[in-house]
Amino acid sequence: MIPNPIDVASRVSPRLSALLSSRVNNPECEQPVTLMAVRRFLADLLPADFREAEQMHHFDVSESLIDEMDALIEEFGQSALAIDFVQAYASEALSRVIEAMLDDENHENPPTLGEVRAALLDGLGARLVGDGVMDDDEDDTLLAEIDALIEHHGADTVAEECLRYE
């Protein structure tokens, strides 16, 4: 399948992008993951059993995500690959982590995505939550998000290149 020539990921909310990324990277999902497969997954979560929703790593499953999926399916088709809609930029929370590392005087060079991952594993996210820079729930998905950025860009990419300025 030919990738979409426009940056379709820029049209996707950060929440939906994180959900799409989690489905694409889930080894239990049948590959390749299409928009319709993610739409069915979301629809199955909505009405009933919230135990399944807990497996979503705290994603807020709501009708607005279904509406957003429906709009993407209408525009790009049911068989469009979900990976094309995963954002390749840092979320607001991850941008704050990267900025904290950029502001760290102990770093001679700008941090790479791999160094950001190492810092998160070393507890940087929790420290930023403790300092009030991030909310507690923002720390939950940072590792999965940095892993997705590393997969997309490579561990040696300068993290600042992935900052999202809005």
In this predicted model, what pLDDT tens digit does every residue of 3-26 receive, in sequence order? 444 567 767 887 788 788 888 878
Residue 1 lies in a domain: no
What is the per-residue DSSP string for 95-147? HHHHHHHHH-TT-SSPPBHHHHHHHHHTTHHHHHHHTTSS-GGGGGGHHHHHH
Asked if 81 and 96 sit in the same domain, the reply is no
- pLDDT above 90 covers a percentage of the chain that reads 30
pLDDT tens-digit map of 116-160: 999 999 999 999 999 998 888 777 788 888 887 887 788 999 999
d(CA 23, CA 69): 14
Q: Which domain holds residue 15?
A: 8-85
Same-domain status, 43 and 100: no
What total of structural domains would you count in the chain?
Answer: 2
Q: Are residues 77 and 103 in the same domain?
A: no
pLDDT in tens, 60-87: 456 688 889 999 999 999 999 998 888 7
pLDDT tens per residue, range 26-35: 888 877 899 9
